[in-house]
Structure 1
Amino acid sequence: MDPVQTTTTTVGNLVDYTVETLTTIDEAGRILPLLAEGWTVSADGRQYTFKLHPGVRFHDGSPFDAKAVKWNFDRLIDPAVRVPIRAAYPIEKTDVVDPLTVRITLKHPYAAFLGALSSTTSGLLSPASAVAPGNDYKNYVHIVGTGPYTLAERRKGESLTFARYPAYWGRPTSYESVVVRIVPEAATRESLLLAGQVDLIILPPLADVPALQRNPALKVLLAPSDRTIFVAINTRKPLLSDRRVRQALNYAVDKAAIVKNVLFGAADPMDAPMASTLFGYCRTGAYAHDPTRAKTLLAQAGITPGTRLQLLHPTGRYVQDKEAAQAIAGYLREVGLVVELQTMDWPSYVATISTPAERNTTQLHFLGWAPPFLDASQQALQFLSTYAPPGGLATSFYANPEVDRLILAAEQELSPDRRRSLYCEASKQVWEDAPWVFLWVQRFPIVYSAKVTDVGSLPNEKFAAVHARPAR
């Protein structure tokens, strides 16, 4: 629950009930003020000066002020603290200008910074709570923020209970408490909703969505999201280092058929290395299902029928992940490859794919990513540059100096048009190099009781229910 350590939108969605950020986004993806009333940016794009909301207090009664903001950003860039997406925050220093004004200086211009500040990773905690029982500077268990709810109870692996904070500075909430139950099985979540034991679920069994849509007691959102699903290809392995082999894998898999028959239409085949909701997206291409071409490319690369590959995948982490992996393996077998499927629990899976290249034994692994803010910056840097484990997330170990150059140039470019062009150039090269089997952009199914209203979604794969209220 420590904001700086979050890597999933699911956890971030829960942290957001109690912890807030300087900026936020609305359902259209626009960046808006939250704990900051407003800001100015220096001409060189390196200094951001924020005016803070007056009269805001943390849940422990301590003041939210510039000193608290500085403490949080100093912690975020501290190498002693684990911050998986620290690369999104190229902060040089944070200065207190006055009690309600803070200035953040970046190491270099970074046009995505305001978006990064809307991410849960930059959520602002009470510095005083660092010494609260169970907490320490490096790891918060009992988070204390400024949000509309406090974290009242946490039962590990079972539930979280949030209690309304009566002195909240912002828009009042309708419910005294919100209980979030942790239920990994999609069918069980659905049963709880149908029995009236919960009011909202995410990610129901996709095969059941049409029936849920017909149920007058329920509301269904098939929300757009920024989550791309792909098969990462370990480009360091001799068998997979040839671009023709990786392209062949893309031509072998019928993504449209899997979307239709396995995902029941709740996704869209990828046409770029990122979702269309991200700034910097441009339609790049398509690997149509073409098994004949796949076989030709494999033969040209010297890959003979019967060559063995291993596809590693989690179960229950992504929508229909096990079923999708089985379908992908089937298509690869049709072009002459012998594919072994291997399943792991999520912690073991992450540890395996995150092993540094020289010790990494994976060949193919099924993976998804929903960038925490709507800019190509984070996904491009973390997954498509040479920012590989253990420091980064580029588990394909893909390395193209020209792509690195384009991504780094886009990171520091202030002109929106030029940034978009740079990311588009990088996308085209990545698409050609095929470090992934480009699969689909997942939609985000949310189902809730018709007795509840004002439930929505955010385009970074979060449900928006903090201000939900009883339907009249």
Structure 2
Amino acid sequence: MRRLVALMRSPILPILAALMVLAACGSAGTRAGGDAAAATPTRGGSMTVITAGGFNTWPNLDPVMPGTANAELRNSIFGELFHQGPGGEIQPSLASGFTKSTDGLTVTVELRPGLMFSDGTPLNADAAVWNMRRALDPATACPCASLFTVVGSVAADGPERVVLSLSQPYPPLIPAFVNTAMNWMGSPTAFEQAGAADFGQRPVGAGPFKVVSNQASQRLELERNPTYWEKDLPYLDRLVFQAAGSDESAYAAVQSSTADAVVGISSVDILTKAQAQLNVIPIPAIAAAQLQFNSLDPPLADPRARQALIYATDIQSLTDVIGKGLYKPTQSPTAEGGLFFQEEVPGTRTFDLAKASELVREIGGLHVKLGGFGAAQSQTLVTAEAIQAMWRKAGIETEISPEPLATLLENYRTGNWQVYLGFSGAIDPALRLGTDYFFHSKGPNSGVADPKLDALLDQAHSSDDPAVRQGLYSQAFQVINDEAYATFLYQTNGYYIARKSVIGLDQNAKWASWERVSSRGA
């Protein structure tokens, strides 16, 4: 198992100290592997993983390039400086840990000694700096750059230390690495030899596997990287990711044993059916489905209108009928796979049709437009139609209005929206699509302007103490509930479907570490 050594030389506790098993001078632990870790892994062999839904395209594997490549593909090739484990816990991987200066303006990332890329070149501080500077360079237009605007410079300090200088303290810095180009290490030598275009198709990294062949968005073949830092991993000799055209074809591949596992199936019917003969393994959610209200304009500037919508929403029915038992309710904009998860918020309004009807009569009727999703999102559309039917019983008239992403974002910018059915959540609430994003007055997707809520979120964003941050977010969630700025429906768990022979996939983490997965055979 992977040893955890986090360096804690700074007198200020790192952001995740309460969530990592660490002592003041560093301590050892293990990366959790879930219940499946109890099974004895086998070495060798190959495995085919079908990617479906939002995971089935990878036009370019270069870490800095935009695209929808599943993080598990890039993690497998490039490795990770830091890994997101159960409960959002940040665990060192290629990095051995990090330290912060007393003023929070300097963060030092420590690399493990002797790291190598799969081409045999060293992954030292200079190579890591090359990767980070490339990610932050405006010329590369990396989507990750917006998460690191406080980073003023990146420099090597010896062979294994990377120093990031910040313009202001930024507690979510290390969580922000996860699933971005800042976390994935590519070989500078391979990039210079291949050029940007070829590197994007046949990249070289420091992960547990190396690329054998790649048909973009169709089939990616990987083999064991003998230079990987964990000498006993990966278990598999070969790992293949194969794209599927639909949930049905992905499921059929595993049923027929032409594939070993599937990631990305969203069809509740297929997931329910698969439980009879295959393993259906939950992926901890970091996002929560929400009904978000624009409280800045009529009719939802009136808190009674917002309350009526909440009282008219039968969340338990949605989870039972729409989710068929696969969705977990939540009362906050966080989920169990991220930091500062809070499942219940005191005083949360629950389904009360009589109260909803009373409020609608009191305000003289209510008509709202429900959007926030595209016409192609069939599962979300089904949920919207179920909510429309519920609200109708309370006398609420609802116009369902699917719209393309560009329109949705423009409507957020101009305030031209009323109710959006969507998702909030991030590994850290301060990051993109987290609580700040939707409920701070300066959030790009916010329908709220509440000085009290802003103050709580600002303090939570700037504190270095995890316990303090937990308390501040708890207060912020209470304000969101009390003022009826949104209602939260359920956590949006994903699922793997795998053959019974697959061992080690139940890792209780957002992204599986495929180096820890093996197969006991047919």
| TM-score in same-fold range (> 0.5) | yes
- Report the equivalent of 1:168: 228
Contact map agreement 1:190 1:205 (CA 8 A) in 2: no
Counterpart Cα distance in 2 of 1:125 and 1:197 = 32
- Report the equivalent of 1:289: 351
Q: Which of 233, 238, 258 lines up with 2:318 in the alignment?
A: 258
Note the alpha carbon deviations across 1:187-223, whole angstroms, 9 max, x for none.
Answer: 32222211112111133632344543332xx222234
Residues 354/80 of structure 1: CA separation in 2 closer, same or farther (3 Å cut): farther
- Report the equivalent of 1:414: 464
Q: Equivalent pairs: percent with the same residue?
A: 23
- Report the equivalent of 2:430: 377
Q: Which of 233, 254, 260 lines up with 1:199 in the alignment?
A: 260
1:422 is displaced (CA, Å) by 1.3
Counterpart Cα distance in 1 of 2:203 and 2:437 = 27
Note the alpha carbon deviations across 1:418-469, whole angstroms, 9 max, x for none.
Answer: 221111111111223334332111233222011221212343x323433211
Contact map agreement 2:80 2:207 (CA 8 A) in 1: no
Residues 464/273 of structure 1: CA separation in 2 closer, same or farther (3 Å cut): same
- Report the equivalent of 1:155: 215
Residues 402/5 of structure 1: CA separation in 2 closer, same or farther (3 Å cut): farther
- Is the partner of 1:70 in helix, strand or coil? helix
- Report the equivalent of 1:433: 483
Residues 249/185 of structure 1: CA separation in 2 closer, same or farther (3 Å cut): farther
Contact map agreement 1:185 1:316 (CA 8 A) in 2: no
Q: Which runs of 4+ in 1 moved over 6 A?
A: none
1:18 is displaced (CA, Å) by 0.8
Q: Which of 445, 468, 471 lines up with 2:517 in the alignment?
A: 468
Contact map agreement 2:81 2:94 (CA 8 A) in 1: yes
Counterpart Cα distance in 1 of 2:91 and 2:372 = 40
- Report the equivalent of 2:83: 24
TM-score (norm 2): 0.77
Contact map agreement 2:425 2:435 (CA 8 A) in 1: no
Contact map agreement 2:291 2:421 (CA 8 A) in 1: yes
Note the alpha carbon deviations across 1:230-285, whole angstroms, 9 max, x for none.
Answer: 23334454333333322322221111101011101111222112124433334324
TM-score (norm 1): 0.84
Counterpart Cα distance in 2 of 1:136 and 1:241 = 50
Counterpart Cα distance in 1 of 2:256 and 2:373 = 32
Pair 1:333-2:417 in alignment = no
- Is the partner of 2:516 in helix, strand or coil? coil
Counterpart Cα distance in 2 of 1:136 and 1:430 = 46
Residues 271/77 of structure 1: CA separation in 2 closer, same or farther (3 Å cut): same
1:147 is displaced (CA, Å) by 0.6
1:25 is displaced (CA, Å) by 3.3
Contact map agreement 2:340 2:470 (CA 8 A) in 1: yes
Residues 343/22 of structure 1: CA separation in 2 closer, same or farther (3 Å cut): same
- Is the partner of 1:445 in helix, strand or coil? strand
Q: Which of 504, 509, 521 lines up with 1:454 in the alignment?
A: 504
- Report the equivalent of 1:179: 240
Residues 22/440 of structure 1: CA separation in 2 closer, same or farther (3 Å cut): same
1:61 is displaced (CA, Å) by 4.3
- Report the equivalent of 2:37: none
Residues 402/155 of structure 1: CA separation in 2 closer, same or farther (3 Å cut): farther
Counterpart Cα distance in 2 of 1:184 and 1:433 = 43
Does 401-410 or 291-300 show the bigger shift? 291-300
Counterpart Cα distance in 2 of 1:18 and 1:317 = 31
Counting matched residue pairs gives: 453
Matches within 5 A, 1:30-69: 30-69=89-128
Residues 311/23 of structure 1: CA separation in 2 closer, same or farther (3 Å cut): closer
Counterpart Cα distance in 2 of 1:79 and 1:402 = 35
Counterpart Cα distance in 2 of 1:82 and 1:248 = 44
Pair 1:442-2:502 in alignment = no
Note the alpha carbon deviations across 1:123-155, whole angstroms, 9 max, x for none.
Answer: 223344555657279x95654321112344443
